[in-house]
Amino acid sequence: METPPEGGPAAPLLQVDGVTLAFGGVKALSGVGFDVQPGSITAVIGPNGAGKTSLFNTISGFYRPTGGAIRFQGQDITRVPAPQRARLGLGRSFQNIALFRGMTVLDNIKLGRHAHLRTHVLDALLYLGRARREEAELRRDIEERIIDFLEIDHIRHAPVAALSYGLQKRVEMARALAMQPRILMLDEPVAGMNREETEDMARFILDVRAEWGVTVLMVEHDMGMVMDLSDHVVVLNFGQVIAQGTPAVVQADAEVNRAYLGSGNVDELRRRLRGDTTQRLPEAA
């Protein structure tokens, strides 16, 4: 990866360059392009069906694009399998909670580190020295850093199925952090949460950037949270980027207003965004 010129802007951590994704004759994404700067919080927004989750699945390696390129730390990862992308530093959560409900919180979180474990099968079966050391290091990191950071020490041994929805979302974030990501990809991290849970998650997102130096890329419908937290906002509609920039730039964009409100009324969008922080803009039909 090239070092930026002294005094110049940092090189993007993630570059999405003209990405197209098609399922048969249907284009889910068409020429999508944007950069994610190191240390930033970047949000991808758009009405239902705009292609946000398809984009996340393409970046994380679950879908292979039919055109364009994805570069991470300057390396082309367009054809790199999902597990290898996780090892490189792309950790993510899911829109629909993807935890093992019969397992404890601690065991679910430990699974996030699986991609980084160096123990081979014989070591693991016999629980030899390297396996013991890795297990001890993993448990210490999770218990002393991640569980404490997300304030879930009181539920570490509870089965996931017994937890509230908000706590399950927090556990999923913990599992993503256990992957030691350079970029934490959060797919609708506050969907379905009440005001208190949303405020807690917003605080954790800000803290993980400030205290751990983790870059955040998120898909979210809660416009109040998006505008409060984000450094850069990318707006998708019908699989295409219709606007991007700072929250202020996006709020003033007439095409964004039309996508969300069916009109170019900038004042109406701003009025909605200044309201309740849990307010969601109406979805486009």
C-alpha distances in Å from residue 140, one per residue of 75, 127, 136, 154, 172: 32, 18, 6, 16, 19
Contact 20, 54 (CB under 8 A): no
pLDDT at 1: 40
Cβ contacts of residue 119 below 8 Å, gap of 6+?
Answer: 130, 131, 134
User: Tokens representing 152?
Assistant: 């879930």
Cα–Cα distance measured from residue 127 to residue 106, given in angstroms and rounded to the nearest whole number: 19
Whether residue 13 is predicted with pLDDT greater than 90 in this model: the reply is: yes
Mean pLDDT score, 189-215: 93
Distance (Å, whole) CA 177 – CA 186: 11
Q: Is the dihedral of CA 149, 155, 161, 164 positive or negative?
A: negative
What is this structure's pTM? 0.82
The confidence score (pLDDT) of residue 265 equals 57
Per-residue model confidence as pLDDT tens digits over 21-72? 999 888 999 999 999 999 999 999 998 889 999 999 999 999 999 999 999 9
Q: What pLDDT does residue 88 have? A: 92
Closest Cα partner for 41 from 185, 157, 187? Answer: 185
Residue 148 reports pLDDT greater than 70: yes
Give me the chain's average pLDDT, please.
Answer: 83
Confidence check: pLDDT of 15 > 80: yes
Domains of the chain: 1-89+181-285 (3.40.50.300), 102-180 (no CATH)
pLDDT of residue 20: 97
Whether the pLDDT of residue 3 is over 90: the answer is no
pLDDT (tens digit per residue) in 236-265: 999 999 999 999 999 888 888 888 766 555
Of 70, 8, 68, 3, the C-alpha closest to 36 is: 70
pLDDT of 109 reads 87
271: left (phi over 0), alpha (psi -120 to 50) or beta: alpha
Percent of the chain at pLDDT > 90 equals: 52
Tens digit of each residue's pLDDT (9 = 90 or more) over 108-147:
888 876 654 454 434 444 455 565 666 666 667 777 789 9
The DSSP call for residue 178 is T
Backbone angles phi, psi at 277, to 5 degrees: -65, -15
CA atoms of 14 and 217, how far apart (whole Å): 10
The answer, yes or no, to whether residue 16 has pLDDT greater than 90, is yes
Mean pLDDT confidence for 83-89? 91
